Amino acid sequence: MKRTIIFILAAFCAIAAFSQAKKPTLMVVPSDAWCISNGYVTVYDNQGTETKIPDYKAAFQSDMDLALAISKINSIMAGRGYPLKNLESVMRSIEQRTAENNLTVSKTSGAQLAESPIDVLRRTAKADIILNLSWKVNHVGPKKSLTIILQGIDAYTNMQIAGCEGTGKPSSSSEVPILLEDALVDRVENFTDALDAYFKNMEEMGREVAVDIQVFDNGSGLDLESEFNGYELSEIIDEWMYQNTMGHRYSKLDGSENYIYYEQVRIPLFDAQGRAVDTESFVRELRRYLRSNYQVESKILMRGLGRAVLVLGEK
């Protein structure tokens, strides 16, 4: 009897611990292709190259069908248990933060880490999983149908984890939400199955995140080739990543004396005390390690739950 009670209590504790894990939040956004084809873009000079990025605010202000389409997708996904953020609402709330600057400034010397338009875009429309939505209304005689493309993208590892596309049956309705639902009705189950498989994989192998290491340009001379006890700082960080990722799983995408980009970094869902782990808490441990062992100060910048930037050199 005593063993049975202990087993039940242990199972209850395991379930309680699992419930603390942060489940990725979804956000539906119009795809780049949809924004460009409908003229909702901002153009900027990217080192001599003209680059177009989506202008979500202009899209919402000019196209009522966009809000209706996103609302319909939100309803469908919420009905399947996924927490969602509404892109328009998030953008509106961020605009109200008038004190927020477009530049991140070091507290110590005022050295600046500028944000590109893409950085600003991601900071504005941050979510863990982005559902990229494209659609086109087709005219079939007096009836209409809708062709849809819906992609589930891990927003901070840039991996596609689910997708569905297809065309609904011709309908006499002209309302985009109805046509959209008709196009999705036979396809959404496979789409959500792919999302569920992704989350299950995360439970078993750890949460997959991205970590960027950068260096403040403050004239201190510190970079990732600086040596400590015969090892370059980049080697020290590599070893820490190896020792602290689940199954030693991570991928070093690129690196130089000024930056390292890590992707497919598998972090545990819980720490030794059973507390939920996210990217910020994971990178905070790296920050403490570098400060206590090598007197390297650093600053953490978050890009949602899935990406953290650790900037070395100052706070």
CA dist 59 and 133 (Å) reads 13
Local confidence band at 119 (pLDDT 50, 70, 90 cut-offs): low
Closest of 124, 126, 125, 120 to residue 104, by C-alpha: 120
- Is pLDDT of 13 > 70? no
Q: What is the largest CA-CA distance in the chain?
A: 77
Question: DSSP state, 270?
Answer: B
Give the CA dihedral 214, 219, 225, 227, nearest 10 degrees: -120
- Percent of the chain surpassing pLDDT 90: 42
Q: Global pTM?
A: 0.69
Q: Which residues contact 216 (CB under 8 A, 6 or more apart)?
A: 106, 111, 113, 299, 311, 312, 313, 314
Query: Across-strand partners of 150?
Result: 133, 164
Distance CA 18, CA 218 (A): 43
pLDDT band at residue 7 using 50, 70 and 90 as cut-offs:
very low
Say yes or no to pLDDT of 302 above 90.
Answer: no
Distance CA 22, CA 202 (A): 11
CATH no. of 206-312: 3.30.1360
Over the stretch 66-110, which tens digit does the pLDDT of each residue have? 999 999 999 999 988 888 988 888 777 766 654 444 444 445 545
In this predicted structure, the answer to whether residue 16 has a pLDDT above a threshold of 50 is no
Mean pLDDT of 174-188: 87
pLDDT digits (tens, 9 = 90+) for 134-173: 999 998 888 999 999 999 988 767 789 999 999 988 888 8
pLDDT at 155: 72
Torsion of CA 217, 218, 219, 223, to 10 degrees: -50
Banded model confidence at residue 305, pLDDT cuts 50, 70, 90 = low
Give the residue among 122, 171, 109 at the shortest CA–CA distance from 144: 171
Residues of the chain with CATH 3.30.1360: 206-312
Distance (Å, whole) CA 230 – CA 297: 20
